[in-house]
Amino acid sequence: MSFVSSKFMLLDAQKRKYAVPAFNIHNLETIQVVVNVASELNSPVILAATPSTVKYAEEELLFAIGKAAAKKHAIPIALHLDHSEDIDYIKKCIDLGYQSVMIDASHHAYDENVQITKEIVDYAHKRGVTVEAELGRLGGCEEDLVVEEKDAFYTDPSAALDFVEKTSIDSLAVAIGTAHGLYKSEPKLDFQRLEDISKLVNIPLVLHGASGVPEDMVRRSIELGICKVNIATELKIPFSTAVRNHLTTHLDESDPRKYLIPGKAAMERVVIEKIKMCGSAGKA
């Protein structure tokens, strides 16, 4: 199967009350893990890549690897450019074939966020590309994107409705208490805020910063309208830890085909867990 639009994946999730997991990938090995597990569990899946990841792997090469993986499996797979603040770079990726993008202009004033987002939506929709945007600001660190706790703020439900109507985005990332990176203590999610947003906004909602959020909280969020759950940190830590441990105990090992295997196995366990948490297994 070729890449599919994340728009239709999320609309199905919205209709059937589950969430599509969006796993941050970085290279061949992480893509292999995500698509192989998703295929085994018959789950739709989104391969999410931040701008720094796309640039590291090179735009065309990452796209080609993802496309080959999608062609190999008979499940819906989308490649998503995540958390990009650069209008020109988003347009470049769209022109290369990326079918799902996120414009993150949440650090701008509201009216400017609307204007920038609308520009991307107009460009993307003419080319059949899905657009996600963010209203409110998550604290924490997402690779090159750093938001101090004092600068984070929650999504206002009435503003969310106005934002969706003015921009025509396909999905909205909401700030309800999650954060990027590791949590210092158990997060406290504002479920009432999420419920209020869901009652006003009819497009799929997205939960960023889900790594480290207790499973019952994520499931409750899905019940209240979350249709896409982003997972990044919880994949990177076990992968790197397993590779580090292997190299520490196998000092003569030099073959990446061997020392990356433990990392893939550790990551695989997390992907299985998160797919089941999202309720997407068997939904492809």
Over residues 113-127, the mean pLDDT reads: 98
Over residues 144-159, the mean pLDDT reads: 64
Which residues are known binding-site members for Zn(2+)? Answer: 83, 104, 134, 180, 208
CATH level 2 (architecture), domain 6-278? Alpha-Beta Barrel (3.20)
Spatial distance between the Cα atoms of 250 and 243, rounded to a whole number of angstroms: 10
Spatial distance between the Cα atoms of 72 and 150, rounded to a whole number of angstroms: 45
Which residues are known binding-site members for dihydroxyacetone phosphate? Answer: 181, 209-211, 230-233
pLDDT in tens, 54-106: 999 999 999 999 999 999 999 999 999 999 999 999 999 999 999 999 999 98
**Which residues, at least 6 apart from 185, have a Cβ–Cβ distance to it below 8 Å?**
none
- The answer to whether 270 and 234 are in contact (CB under 8 A) is yes
Can you give the residue ranges of every domain in the chain?
A: 6-278
Q: From 158, 149, 145, 157, select the one nearest 178 (Cα to Cα).
A: 149
pLDDT of 149 strictly over 60: no
Q: Give residue 147's pLDDT band: very low, low, confident or very high (50, 70, 90).
A: very low
Please identify every residue annotated as catalytic.
82
Tokens, residue 159 = 């503003």
| Higher pLDDT, residue 153 or 50 | 50
